Amino acid sequence: MYAKHLKRAGSLLLYDNSSCMRGSCKLSDLVTNPLQKKTVQSESQARLTQREGKLSLRTIIMLLSSLCVVSITLAVMLGPVKIEPFTVWKIALSHIPYIGDFIEPDWSKSQENIIWTIRFPRVLLGAVAGAGLALAGAVIQALLRNPLADPYILGVSSGASVAATTIIIFGGFQIFGQYALSIGAFLGAIVSIVIVYILAQVSGRINSSRLLLSGVAVSMVLSSITNYIVLSAPKEQGMRDAMFWMMGSFSGGKWEHLMIPAIVVAAGLTFLLFQYRALNALLMGEETAKTLGINTDSLRKILIIVISLLTGVIVAVCGSIGFIGLMIPHISRFLIGSDHRRVLPVSALLGALLMIWADVGARLVLAPQEVPVGIITSICGGPFFIWLLRRGNNSLGGGNK
């Protein structure tokens, strides 16, 4: 009798092994206990969902990267002088060492000046600025746990505006030549950050609510100073130039203005990706983050420095551009959830993509005149923000994700 049962069990085991070798069995098929079987099935489903989520993230990043390349091509093509897409990339590749040796020039000198000297640095600067502001917005929203926070909440834009309007209207920093405006705006941003940082500290520690209120207060004071400087302008042209800069523009974009923002944004993204677990913990609250072993005080100070550096460098070159840092993180969470390992790269790509097309609109809407890009982003961003609020949850958890 025992031999009969052993023979039957052996045949079943042989069948199961052959099925597994063919890949037709599942781990749950080898479990007979109903409770264990349910647990194994749940774990398998979780692994499958996680694998699908990773594939989805990879697909989204590849799609957004492709869209960015196409958008850069179209943005460089569009303008008073129409240029073919192949000509655009042949001119661009001809300036790359070694690769340019294999490209036969079949374009005019004027086309090369338009593409390489004027349009390409402007478009790339817009992409870098959009990516940096979106990254800063995602981090500041996690840091303050406030869905309405944006990179300018720390007073960076207001401090830069005071310095920039002073230089535009009254002059200054002439020893820096063409970089006087950018350097002055960056120094103004740094001063405002230091003031906010000092006001937000209590016994050597920074409180999120105090940081938010300090940023708002300093921004209001500095904005009033900026308005007074603009109204005191001795020439109307100086007033117009100051107002145009305060609403953001890439019209002065040059290759020499691109290097520092690109390095800062790339370094910021790399650093923040290593901190994604800490950012996820901050979304659950400061006490929870401390329970998980995170030094929230040190982390908050480091994140403030990173946000300020990202925003300060971009504002110094491009002026104040709204909407991107506020809305892009919400769009990213709406698409792929609230995990910052996914939110950060998707936000950077979305920010770059939307800023490219905002600048195209700024150039072409009232051509040959140019509209400040901040007006375009606000006009597009306001209705979209209202639609997003009406459609679903605006929390940092990513809506229905």
The predicted-structure confidence for 269-323, as pLDDT tens digits, reads as follows 999 999 999 999 988 888 888 888 888 888 888 998 898 889 888 988 888 888 8
Q: What is the DSSP letter of 146?
A: -
Residue 124 above 70 pLDDT? yes
Distance, in Å, from the CA atom of 208 to the CA atom of 219, rounded to the nearest integer, reads 16
Q: What is the pLDDT of residue 351?
A: 95
Asked if the model's pLDDT at residue 353 lies above 90, the reply is: yes
Output the pLDDT for position 394: 52
Strand, coil or helix: 107:
coil
Q: What is the DSSP string of 175-195?
A: GGGGGHHHHHHHHHHHHHHHH
Q: Which residue is it, tokens 């926070």? A: 149
Q: How confident is the model at residue 36 (pLDDT cuts 50, 70, 90)?
A: very low
In single-letter form, the type of residue at position 165 comes to T
Confidence band of 4 (pLDDT split at 50, 70, 90): very low
Average pLDDT of the chain is: 80
pLDDT of residue 194: 87
pLDDT in tens, 178-209: 778 888 888 888 888 889 888 888 777 777 78
- Return the beta strands (E) in 192-315 as ranges: 201-202, 205-206
Tell me the one-letter amino acid at 7. K
Report d(CA 90, CA 100) in Å as an integer.
9
Q: Where are the alpha helices (DSSP H) in 22-117?
A: 34-77, 85-94, 109-112
The pairs formed by 106-115 with CB atoms below 8 angstroms and a separation of 24 or more are 110/81, 111/81, 111/83, 111/87, 114/79, 114/81, 114/83, 115/76, 115/83, 115/87, 115/88, 115/91
Domains in the chain (CATH in brackets) are: 129-391 (1.10.3470.10)
Tokens of residue 248, six digits: 């953001």
- pLDDT reported for residue 55: 52
| CA 56/CA 267 separation, integer angstroms | 25
- How far is residue 57 from each of residues 267, 339, 361, measured CA to CA in Å? 21, 11, 29
**What is the structure's pLDDT at 271?**
96
Q: Crossing angle of helices 34-77/120-144, nearest 10°?
A: 150
